[in-house]
Amino acid sequence: MAISPVPAPQPQVTERRATVRDVPAMFRLINHWADQRQMLPKALHTLCNTVRDFWVAEESGEVVGCCGLRIYTEDLAEVCSLAVAPGKQGRGIGQSLVKCCHGEARAMGIRRVFALTYQVAFFERLGYRIVDMDSLPEKVWRDCVNCPFLDNCNETAMIRELGA
């Protein structure tokens, strides 16, 4: 009987707050997927300005994922710019990063989080449901009005209530 080789253990992935040193890697990750039209691009200066919103996932000293929590009102925040490195997908990294954002939102007292996404099934697994974009006027008036895709936006608005 053939003995199958034991798979090598995967290096451990840890999530932590982003620092400015992570910005170049976040920039590469997000814009890699933006080039594939999976998400919207982000400028380097925007990531520097908003780096305090971000969590990163690190494996063997390398940034393999990022995700931001952007606060809109005392009750509402957006899970944004979620990106997992190509080749590192399907290992729970995206899910863990979103859960970090949920934990942070809960700690802040925020009760609702939303995402604009092409990854509907991924967010459904995390308890989000589809809503009409019009139910998120905070987002529309802050960002969408300036977005080049305003008139042909294909993203789906999804929201999740956070329990205590």
> Which residues contact ligand COA (rule: CB under 6 A)?
33, 38-39, 82-84, 89-95, 115, 117-119, 121-122, 125
**Which of 24, 74 has the CB closer to ligand COA?**
24
Distance CA 84, CA 39 (A): 12
What does the block give as tokens for 75?
């009750």
Cβ count within 10 A of residue 63: 20
Tokens 């390398």 sit on residue: 62
| Closest approach of ligand COA to the CB of residue 4, in Å | 23
| Closest approach of ligand COA to the CB of residue 124, in Å | 8
**Which of 2, 83 has the CB closer to ligand COA?**
83
The three-state secondary structure class of 156 is strand
Residue, CB closest to ligand COA: 94
**Which of 121, 164 has the CB closer to ligand COA?**
121
Q: Tell me the backbone φ, ψ of residue 73, rounded to 5 degrees.
A: -135, 180
Q: Tell me the backbone φ, ψ of residue 14, rounded to 5 degrees.
A: -125, 150
**Which of 4, 154 has the CB closer to ligand COA?**
154
| Closest approach of ligand COA to the CB of residue 109, in Å | 24
| Closest approach of ligand COA to the CB of residue 94, in Å | 2
| Closest approach of ligand COA to the CB of residue 1, in Å | 31
Q: Classify residue 118 by its DSSP letter.
A: S
What does the block give as tokens for 60?
């063997």
Host H or E run for residue 15: strand 13-17
**Which of 118, 149 has the CB closer to ligand COA?**
118
